[in-house]
A and B are shown apart, each in its own frame.
Chain A
Amino acid sequence: MTNELSDHARERLKGLRTSAHSSGVFTSDFSVNEFLLVRKAGFEAIGLCVGSCVYHVGVQYRSWNKNQELDVLSKAMYHARELAMSRMRAEAQSMGADGIVGVKLTIKRLEWDEHLLEFIAIGTGVVHGEGHQGFRAHDGGPFTSDLSGQDFWSLLHAGYRPVEMVMGSCVYHVAHRGMLASIGTSMSNVELENYTAAMYGAREIAIERMQAEAVAAKAEGVVGLDIHEGSHGWQTHVIEFFAVGTAVLPLGQEIAPEKIGDPIMVLSVND
C-alpha cells in the first residue's frame, strides 16, 4: 500500500504531532485571531502552562525622610515572579513545548493576610509545526514571551524570535518632606527634586535589571518594554517599578530577511 494520504488526513496527522501531549488534546487561552496567527506562524498550541507562587513578603524598615530602595521587598517581588515563571516553564518543558506565548503574569493580594501575595504566570505552550529546534532559548528550554499570538506572528515577520520574558523590579521608598520644606514652597510652583530623583532612581534600577537579564539570555534586544508602577497595598510613599519586556534574537538562519514582506500602510476611516 503506497497510497498517498489525502491532504486533509496529512494535515490532521501533522496536527496530532501536538499529541506529544499525552492526552492528545491541546489546551490554550488563545482567541480565534490569536490561534489562527500562531498557526500561520508555523506553530501549534499544545497546552496551557501555569506556575503559581504564594509568597510571604517580609517587612522592611525605612528612614522616613530618605529616598531608598527597599531591597527586601524588591527581592521578594522578583523572587516570587521568578518562581512562578520557572514553574510555568518547567511544565512547558515537560510537555515538550518549544516556547510559551501570551504569558500573563499577575499578582493578587490574599485578603486575610497583608503580607501574602499570590503570583500567577500562565501562557500557552507551543511547538514548531515541523519540529524545528532553533526557536528554543539559549539553554535549550522553551522560550517565554508576554507577546500575544498576533505580536508573535509580527515579531517573526520582523525577522526576530522571542527568547525570554525579561523583567526587573525595584521597590522604592520616596522620602517624605519635612513640614518646613512644605511651608517654604507653599506659594510657588516648584519642582520637588527629591521626588523626581526617586522616580529616576527606581526606574533606572528596574530597567538596568531587566537589561541584565536580556544580556544573560544572550539577546540582541528587548521589545515591548512596559514599566508598571504599582503599590501592592504598601504605604503611600512606597512604589514598585516593574520593567517587563521580551528579549529577542534575529532569526538569522531560520528566515532570510529579504523574505519579510513589506507591510501595507492602512489609514482607518473608522474611529
Chain B
Amino acid sequence: MKQPDANTQASRAASEAKQADILQAIQQGTMPSCIGERLTASREGTAPWIATMTPAELLIARSHGLRPIAAVSATCWMYYGYSWTEGHAQGWQTALERLRDEARVAGANAVVDVKMRTIPIGMEASMDFSLIGTAVKVDGLPPSKDPVIATVPALEFVKLLDADIVPTGIAVGAQYEWISDWRGSVNNLFWVGNTETQVLSGLWERVRREAHAELRRSAQKQGNGALAHINFSQMFEREQGENQPKQYLARHIVIATTVDTPNVVRRAIDGPRHIDLSLTTPRLEQTQGAESSLDFQMVVDLHEGKTPLKRTIQHHQAYALNTQEGAI
C-alpha cells in the first residue's frame, strides 16, 4: 500500500488530536474545544449563522424578533446493560443537558426546532440519543443562563409564545415490568371463549400509569405542563423452558415537550386570532351569527406534503425505526 503524502498525514494527525479532545471532554462533562470555537465564532458574528429552520420558519422567527445563531447538537450513546427502557430516559436527559451547554456557549435564549433522532445502525445492545436544533437569541435580551429547549418547530414555538406559553424542555416517562404467568392464565384461554386477559390488561395498566406518573414528575422540574408527542410501547413473550411459566415484558415510553403555561382557562376563552377552518359550512356561520366573536378565515396551504399547519409528529424520528431488541 502506498504511503499517504505529508499533507494527508498531517490532517490525519490533526483529526486524531481532535477526536482525543472530544473524548476527553465527554468523559469530563465539558465542551469539546472545536465545538466551543465554532459556537463562539457564530455568537460573535465572525462566522455565518446556521439554522435548521425552513425559510418560512426563518420568516416568522425574524418577524418575532428571533435571530438564529448556530446549529447545536448533542449525542449520548447508551449501552443497555441493566434496562433498555430506563436507558431511554437517561439517554435523552444526558443529551438534553449537553444541548443546553452548547446553547449557553452560543449565547442563546432558546433552542428551537429540536429534532430527536437516532442513527439507524444497531451496534450491540446500544443506541444513540441525538438532538439537533437551532440556537436563537431574542433581540434586546441578554443571553440566558438557562436557555429553554423547544422540541417543536420554530413555527410552533412562535405560536406558543404568541399564546404566552413557553416550551421549556423534554420530559420522559419510561417504565417496564416483567411478569411470570404462573397460572397459565394467558395461554389456557381456549375453553373460555370471550374473556378479558386480565393478567396482561393489568400489566399494561400498571406500566402505562407508572410511565405517565413518571412523565409528570419529570415535567414538574421544567414547567407546568407536558405535550406528549411520542407514545411508544412494546410487549414481548418469553419462553422459560419446560415446566416454567411464560414471561411477559411490557414497556412504555412517553416523551413530551414541557411547557410553562400562565392561565389555561383565560386563554381558552380568548381563543386564537385567526383560525383555519377548511371544513367550515355555511350553517356554522349562520348559527354563530353576529354574536360570534371568533373571526373565521379560509386559508389555503400551498405546502406539499408535510405542512407546518398540521401536527409535528414527524419531527421526532427516534421511535419510528427502532424495533430492534436488546436488553430490557
Stretch touching chain B among A4-12, A19-27, A217-225: A217-225
Interface centre among A152, A189, A236, A263 (most CB of B within 10 A): A189
A interface residue count range (under 10 / 10 to 19 / 20 to 34 / 35 or more):
35 or more
Q: Is B185 an interface residue (CB 8 A)?
A: no
Stretch touching chain B among A63-71, A80-88, A105-113, A132-140: A63-71
Task: List chain A residues, Cβ under 8 A from B15.
Answer: 68-69, 71, 201, 205
The proximity string for B residues 64-94 relative to A, scoring 1 for CB distances below 8 Å and 0 otherwise, is 0000100101011111111100110011001
Question: Closest Cβ of chain A: how far from B73's Cβ, in Å?
Answer: 6
Find out whether the CB atom of B63 lies under 8 angstroms from the CB atom of A263.
yes
Find out whether the CB atom of B128 lies under 8 angstroms from the CB atom of A196.
yes
Q: Is A251 an interface residue (CB 8 A)?
A: no
How far apart are the CA atoms of A192 and B90 in the complex, in Å? 13
Find out whether the CB atom of A185 lies under 8 angstroms from the CB atom of B58.
no
Q: Is A160 an interface residue (CB 8 A)?
A: yes
How far apart are the CA atoms of A227 and B16 in the complex, in Å? 23
Task: List chain A residues, Cβ under 8 A from B1.
Answer: 61
Least CB separation from A195: chain B residue = B77
Find out whether the CB atom of A211 lies under 8 angstroms from the CB atom of B304.
no
Q: Is A33 an interface residue (CB 8 A)?
A: yes
Q: Is A118 an interface residue (CB 8 A)?
A: no
The one of A150, A158, A196, A239 in contact with B58, judged by C-beta atoms closer than 8 angstroms, is A158
Task: List chain B residues, Cβ under 8 A from A198.
Answer: 19
The one of A34, A69, A154, A208 in contact with B304, judged by C-beta atoms closer than 8 angstroms, is A34
Task: List chain B residues, Cβ under 8 A from A220.
Answer: 48-49
Find out whether the CB atom of B275 lies under 8 angstroms from the CB atom of A267.
yes
The one of A203, A224, A237 in contact with B54, judged by C-beta atoms closer than 8 angstroms, is A224
Q: Is A3 an interface residue (CB 8 A)?
A: no
Task: List chain A residues, Cβ under 8 A from B53.
Answer: 223-224
Task: List chain B residues, Cβ under 8 A from A256.
Answer: none
Q: Is A264 an interface residue (CB 8 A)?
A: yes
Least CB separation from B1: chain A residue = A61
How far apart are the CA atoms of A199 and B118 in the complex, in Å? 11
Find out whether the CB atom of A154 lies under 8 angstroms from the CB atom of B56.
yes
Q: Given A196-B77, A211-B38: A221 and B48 within 8 A (CB)?
A: yes
Chain A interface mostly:
mixed
Find out whether the CB atom of A188 lies under 8 angstroms from the CB atom of B119.
no
The proximity string for A residues 161-200 relative to B, scoring 1 for CB distances below 8 Å and 0 otherwise, is 0000000000000100100001001111111111111111
Chain B interface mostly:
mixed
How far apart are the CA atoms of A224 and B278 in the complex, in Å? 29
How far apart are the CA atoms of A186 and B125 in the complex, in Å? 9
Find out whether the CB atom of A207 lies under 8 angstroms from the CB atom of B50.
yes
Task: List chain B residues, Cβ under 8 A from A226.
Answer: 52
Interface centre among A61, A177, A266, A271 (most CB of B within 10 A): A266
Task: List chain B residues, Cβ under 8 A from A150.
Answer: 56, 302-304
Task: List chain A residues, Cβ under 8 A from B128.
Answer: 195-196, 199
Question: Closest Cβ of chain B: how far from A268's Cβ, in Å?
Answer: 4
Find out whether the CB atom of A147 lies under 8 angstroms from the CB atom of B55.
yes
Find out whether the CB atom of A201 lies under 8 angstroms from the CB atom of B22.
yes
Task: List chain A residues, Cβ under 8 A from B26.
Answer: 193, 196-197, 200
Least CB separation from B47: chain A residue = A211
Task: List chain B residues, Cβ under 8 A from A268.
Answer: 276, 278, 301, 307, 309-310
Q: Given A31-B304, A190-B79, A204-B34: A265 and B63 within 8 A (CB)?
A: no
Residues of chain A touching chain B, judged by Cβ–Cβ distance below 8 Å, are: 31, 33-34, 36-37, 61, 67-69, 71, 147-148, 150-152, 154-155, 157-160, 174, 177, 182, 185-201, 203-205, 207-208, 210-211, 214-215, 219-227, 229, 231, 236-237, 239, 245, 247, 260, 262-271
Shortest 7 CB-CB distances between A and B: which pairs?
A: A158-B59, A155-B55, A195-B77, A221-B49, A268-B309, A154-B55, A197-B23
Selected A-B contacts with CB under 8 Å, 24 pairs: A68-B19, A150-B56, A150-B303, A151-B55, A158-B55, A174-B123, A188-B82, A191-B76, A191-B78, A196-B26, A196-B128, A199-B75, A199-B130, A200-B22, A200-B35, A201-B18, A204-B35, A211-B38, A211-B47, A226-B52, A239-B121, A266-B274, A268-B276, A268-B310
